[in-house]
């Protein structure tokens, strides 16, 4: 439909082209009352995107008709890879110039859109550079040029750059007008869906897979027709989505599996039937080295590798050689690249990383979490390690890349403190070596993951809202020793040394864990009665003497007793104290007690608990 308006005295007519959602004409005719040349102005309404450009048309005399022809948008969103297995670290969006001439991208912006619940919230707007994109050429915007081939604009962040849908979308604007949009995993809100995005899914289990236009560059304004899951080709023409190269879709054990049985077989499943000789597979282990095996397959899709001998306690890597694997449909195609996965068998103890997450304060009380959160890294080696360019993240969407405008060295055997606020006056009195943003430390369950410049995982801590880890308020979670496995809650304690404005911890220094171990219990003596002979022993594993006077012993019921020794009750460094109901060794079974708590605390012969709380009731 058309409307005429905006008559100008200079003899030019401006016409508004109104296109209905269901209208996609290639040609329209209209009558006007003036001879001359005129441009056409396109009216854009809610829910519609600017998809066509209209050249000047020749206006005939009144009563004759004029024809105008639509022209497809010249720059299109051509390929998206938004989801990879594990951490999304190789995401990109590819554009293509479908016109016959070069186009400067300076007037274009790329929009990343959160479509949750059918909405359309732009969470990132990326201005494209002053670059002329040649006819038929491609421009790739990526999260990390180190992980994406042919990346032209590294926009970052390095991980979780493009959201994973259900649904989400990508939009492209030229001088503010929307010229292309792709919605995936459903329909994002207007105007970011063309037709429907239902069924467009980038399966992270398929290596080097994304969604792409096929035929390459074709745009019919129907997302689920123009796009399909395809093997990725950033900066190059899209491959046929009907005959993709084979991919490994699943393995047993899975990548990163632990405690794998020593007598396990290995299974590898492909996306389609393939030809794969024994030479296509190899198994290399940290102790067994190259592992001999026999390979078999019943359907040419799933292959089983049966090792000649059982594994030992070790870490193993399985490699599938791309050049040795070809599909069996159409023209045989090899895998796009080698595939590797690793696992650890029963009894394997992983070596400690060089950089260790050593102390965390996720819930300060002297200042707000926003000002007072920090964590500490420790260097276990005898040489400094530069962590500039490393990535800190959790298992969700929090992350940041350390950008210190130069080295950020962790000294040999030393520490660096990273915090949300580097201002000593407002952060609770912490000397922060690096201030970050984009990372929040949950007071419940959360994670800290450290990755080096190549995104290899260096260390990880996952705390659990007090289930096994300490859950302090106003104090740090402190690793008892940097040689311990820091992803085991029992290896952490609560910081006790006051710093700054009164929170407790040792930022930038060795941890001072006050850690007392309930080491021995006799709840049912036979030589004497329970009332005389019950006792338990405490052990101090630290390197400092510890006074437990004023501490509380209790159970989950009503038994409770505050230690009152009328002075210090010191537990020697590396030493013991014995607490019991009766201090008289003649009638208590011959036990030399350090402290008698009397009848206020009893040890049941069935189910019971002994809980020890320090002065802060931690």
Confidence of residue 544 (pLDDT cuts 50, 70, 90): low
Residue 357 has pLDDT above 80, yes or no: yes
pLDDT(302) > 90: yes
366 pLDDT higher than 90 = yes
Q: Is 361 left (phi over 0), alpha (psi -120 to 50) or beta?
A: beta
- Domains of the chain by residue range: 2-72, 75-231, 252-345, 355-494, 517-613
Pairing of strands 517-522, 385-386: unpaired
pLDDT at 230: 85
Chain centre to alpha carbon of residue 526 = 57
Give the confidence band of 4 by pLDDT, cuts at 50, 70, 90.
very low
pLDDT score of 344: 84
Provide the mean pLDDT of the chain: 84
Residue pointed to by tokens 């969103």: 77
Rounded CA gap, 148 and 387, in Å? 22
**In the structure, what pLDDT confidence band is assigned to residue 515 with cuts at 50, 70 and 90?**
low
Residue 187 has pLDDT above 70, yes or no: yes
Residue with tokens 């030019």: 12
Fold of 517-613: Immunoglobulin-like (2.60.40)
What is the value of pTM for the model shown?
A: 0.38
Read off the pLDDT band of 587 (50, 70, 90): very high
* Residue whose C-alpha is closest to residue 102's, from 141, 131, 72, 140: 131
pLDDT (mean) for 497-514: 90
Q: What is the pLDDT of residues 426-442, one digit of tens each?
A: 999 999 999 999 999 99
Given this model, what pLDDT does residue 56 score? Answer: 31
pLDDT (average), residues 580-584:
94
pLDDT digits over 152-162, tens only?
Answer: 999 979 999 99
More reliable by pLDDT, 255 or 562? 562
Give the pLDDT confidence score for residue 28 in this predicted structure. 33
- Cα 261 from Cα 313, distance rounded (Å): 9
Burial 517-526 (b: 16+ CB within 10 A, else e): eeeeebbebe
When comparing pLDDT for 54 and 323, which is higher? 323
* Topology, domain 75-231: Immunoglobulin-like (2.60.40)
Start-to-end Cα distance in the chain: 75
**What sections of 72-133 are H helices per DSSP?**
none
Q: What CATH number has the domain spanning 252-345?
A: 2.60.40.1220
Q: Which long-range contacts (CB under 8 A, 24 or more apart) does 12-17 make?
A: 12/36, 12/37, 12/38, 12/39, 13/38, 13/59, 14/38, 14/39, 14/40, 14/41, 15/40, 15/41, 16/41, 16/42, 16/43, 17/41, 17/42, 17/43, 17/54, 17/68
Evaluate if residue 464 carries a pLDDT over 90: yes
For 234, the token pair is 């950033």
Q: Is the pLDDT of residue 8 over 80?
A: no
pLDDT tens-digit map of 164-183: 978 999 999 999 999 999 99
> What is the C-alpha to C-alpha distance for residues 121 and 545, in angstroms, rounded to an integer?
58
Q: Mean of the pLDDT values across residues 388-411?
A: 93
Residue 327 in this model has a pLDDT that exceeds 90 = no
pLDDT band at 618 (very low <50, low <70, confident <90, very high): low
pLDDT at residue 352, as a whole number: 60
Cα separation values, 292 from 119, 265, 295, 434, 531, Å: 54, 12, 10, 49, 64
The 8-class DSSP code of residue 489 comes to: G
- The CATH homologous superfamily for domain 355-494 is Lamin Tail domain (2.60.40.1260)
Q: Please determine, for residue 377, whether its predicted confidence score (pLDDT) is greater than 50.
A: yes
The residue assigned the tokens 């037709």 is 195
């Amino acid at each position: 439909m058309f409307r005429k308006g905006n008559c100008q005295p200079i003899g030019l007519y401006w016409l508004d082209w109104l296109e209905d959602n269901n209208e996609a004409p290639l040609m329209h005719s209209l009558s006007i009352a003036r001879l001359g040349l005129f441009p056409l102005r396109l009216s854009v309404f809610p829910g519609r995107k600017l998809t066509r450009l209209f050249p000047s048309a020749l206006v005939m005399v009144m009563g004759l008709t004029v024809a105008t022809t639509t022209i497809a948008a010249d720059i299109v969103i051509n390929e998206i890879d938004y989801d990879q297995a594990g951490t999304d670290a190789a995401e990109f969006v590819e554009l293509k110039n479908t016109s016959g001439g070069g186009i400067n991208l300076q007037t274009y912006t790329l929009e990343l859109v959160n479509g949750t619940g059918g909405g359309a919230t732009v969470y990132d707007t990326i201005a494209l550079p002053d670059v002329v994109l040649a006819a038929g050429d491609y421009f790739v915007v990526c999260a990390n040029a180190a992980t994406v081939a042919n990346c032209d604009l590294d926009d970052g962040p390095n991980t979780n750059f493009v959201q994973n849908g259900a649904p989400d979308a990508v939009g492209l604007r030229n001088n503010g007008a929307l010229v292309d949009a792709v919605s995936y995993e459903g329909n994002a809100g207007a105007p970011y869906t063309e037709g429907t995005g239902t069924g467009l899914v980038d399966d992270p289990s398929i290596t080097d897979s994304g969604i792409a236009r096929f035929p390459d560059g074709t745009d019919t304004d129907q997302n689920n027709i123009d796009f399909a899951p395809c093997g990725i080709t950033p900066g190059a023409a899209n491959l046929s989505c009907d005959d993709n190269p084979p991919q490994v879709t699943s393995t047993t054990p899975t990548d990163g599996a632990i405690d794998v049985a020593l007598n396990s077989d290995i299974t590898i499943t492909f996306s389609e039937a393939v030809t794969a000789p024994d030479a296509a597979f190899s198994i290399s282990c940290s102790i067994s080295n190259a592992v001999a095996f026999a390979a078999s397959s019943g359907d040419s899709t799933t292959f089983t590798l049966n090792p000649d001998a059982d594994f030992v306690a070790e870490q193993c890597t399985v490699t599938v050689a791309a050049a040795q694997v070809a599909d069996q449909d159409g023209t045989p195609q090899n895998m796009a690249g080698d595939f590797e996965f690793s696992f650890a068998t029963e009894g394997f103890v992983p070596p400690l990383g060089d950089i260790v997450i050593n102390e965390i304060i996720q819930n300060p009380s002297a200042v707000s979490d926003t000002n007072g959160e920090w964590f500490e890294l420790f260097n276990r080696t005898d040489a400094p390690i530069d962590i500039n360019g490393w990535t800190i993240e959790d298992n969700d969407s929090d992350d940041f890349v350390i950008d210190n405008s130069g080295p950020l060295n962790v000294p040999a055997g030393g520490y660096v403190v990273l915090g949300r606020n580097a201002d000593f006056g407002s952060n609770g009195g912490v000397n922060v070596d690096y201030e970050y943003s984009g990372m929040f430390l949950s007071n419940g369950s959360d994670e800290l993951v450290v990755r080096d410049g190549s995104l290899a995982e260096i260390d990880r801590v996952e705390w659990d809202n007090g289930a096994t880890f300490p859950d302090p308020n106003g104090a740090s979670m402190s690793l008892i020793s940097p040689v311990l496995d820091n992803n085991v809650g029992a290896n952490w304690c609560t910081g006790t040394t006051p710093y700054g404005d009164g929170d407790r911890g040792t930022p930038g220094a060795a941890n001072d864990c006050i850690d007392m171990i309930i080491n021995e219990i006799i709840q049912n003596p036979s030589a004497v009665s329970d009332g005389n002979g019950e006792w338990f022993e405490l052990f101090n594993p630290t390197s400092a003497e510890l006074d437990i006077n004023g501490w509380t012993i209790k159970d989950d019921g009503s038994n409770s007793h505050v230690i009152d020794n009328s002075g210090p009750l010191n537990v020697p460094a590396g030493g013991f104290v014995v607490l019991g109901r009766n201090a008289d060794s003649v009638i208590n079974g011959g036990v030399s007690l350090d402290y008698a708590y009397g009848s206020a605390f009893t040890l049941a012969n069935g189910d019971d608990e002994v809980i020890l709380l320090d002065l802060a009731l931690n």
